[in-house]
Amino acid sequence: MMLTIVAVLAVGLIADGSVRVEGRGGTTVGGQDPSSAGVSADLTARASGPDGALRLALSPSTVLASEGSQLFVRGFGEADWRLRAGAWVRLRQALGYGSIDLSPVAPGAAVGPVQPPPGSRFVSVQESSSSLELDVLASRRLHLVASAAWLVTGGADDEARRSFPLSRGPHLRGYFDWSATRLDTLRLELQAFDDRYSNGRRASVIGLAAGWRVLLARGTELSLSLGPAVGRARTLDQPAATVAYVVGAADLRAAPLRELTTSVGASIEPLGDPLSGELVERGSLRAAAIWDRPRVLSLAARLLGSVVLTSGTGSPTSPQAGDRYLQAELSATVPLDARSGITAGARAAFLSRPLLDQPTGQWVAFVAYAAQVPLLR
The confidence score (pLDDT) of residue 116 equals 60
Whole-number Cα distances in Å, 12 to 125, 359, 374: 35, 52, 15
287 compared with 377, residue with greater pLDDT: 287
As a whole number, mean pLDDT of residues 332-343 equals 95
% of the chain at pLDDT higher than 70: 92
Find the range with the poorest average confidence among 3-7, 120-124, 187-191.
3-7
* Gyration radius from the chain CA atoms: 22
Is the pLDDT higher at 13 or at 168?
168
What pLDDT, on the 0 to 100 scale, is given for residue 114? Answer: 55
Tell me what pLDDT residue 318 has. 83
Spatial separation of the C-alpha atoms in residues 38 and 312, rounded to whole Å: 35
Average pLDDT, whole number, for the chain? 89
What does each C-alpha distance from 90 to 53, 77, 80, 132, 134 come to in angstroms? 9, 11, 4, 6, 6
Which pLDDT score, from 0 to 100, does residue 112 have?
A: 45
Query: What CA–CA distance (Å, rounded) separates 135 from 82?
Result: 10
What does the pLDDT average to over 350-368? Answer: 84
Q: From CA 335, how far away is CA 338, in angstroms rounded?
A: 7
Per-residue confidence (pLDDT) for residue 50, from 0 to 100: 83
Which of the given ranges, 13-17, 41-45, 360-364, has the highest pLDDT on average? 41-45
CATH code where residue 111 lies: 2.40.160.100
Domain span holding position 209: 2-376
140: β partners: none
Per-residue pLDDT at 58 exceeds 50 = yes
Q: Give the residue with greater pLDDT, 218 vs 151.
A: 151
Measured at the CA of 274, the angle between CA 269 and CA 279, to 5 degrees, comes to: 45
DSSP state for residue 50 in the 8-state scheme:
T
Q: What are phi and psi of 374, to 5 degrees?
A: -70, 130
By residue count, the chain amounts to 377
What integer pLDDT is reported at residue 117 of this predicted model? 61
Total domains, the chain: 1
Query: Tell me, what's the pLDDT at 164?
Result: 86
What distance in Å separates the CA atoms of residue 208 and residue 247, rounded to the nearest whole number? Answer: 8
CA angle 83-86-91, nearest 5°?
50
CA dihedral 362, 301, 226, 311 (to 10 degrees): 0
Q: Which residues of 17-31 are buried (b: 16+ CB within 10 A; e: fewer)?
A: bbebebebebeeeee
**What is residue 51's predicted lDDT score, i.e. its pLDDT?**
86
Residue 288 near residue 299, CB atoms below 8 Å? no
Whether a cis peptide bond, with omega within 30° of 0, leads into 113 is yes
DSSP-assigned beta bridge partners for residue 118: none
- pLDDT score of 115: 58
Strands 279-293 and 260-272: antiparallel
Greater pLDDT, 170 or 68: 170
Kindly state the average pLDDT of the residues 156-180: 93
pLDDT at 4: 52
Q: pLDDT, tens digit, for every residue of 95-140?
A: 999 988 877 888 765 444 455 665 567 889 999 999 999 999 999 9
Q: What is the mean pLDDT of residues 201-216?
A: 96
Higher pLDDT, 49 or 192: 192
Mean pLDDT value of segment 344-368: 87
pLDDT at 17 over 60: yes
Question: If we measure between CA atoms, which residue out of 341, 335, 329 comes closest to residue 368?
Answer: 341
* Cα 225 from chain centre: 20
274 confidence band (pLDDT: 50, 70, 90): confident
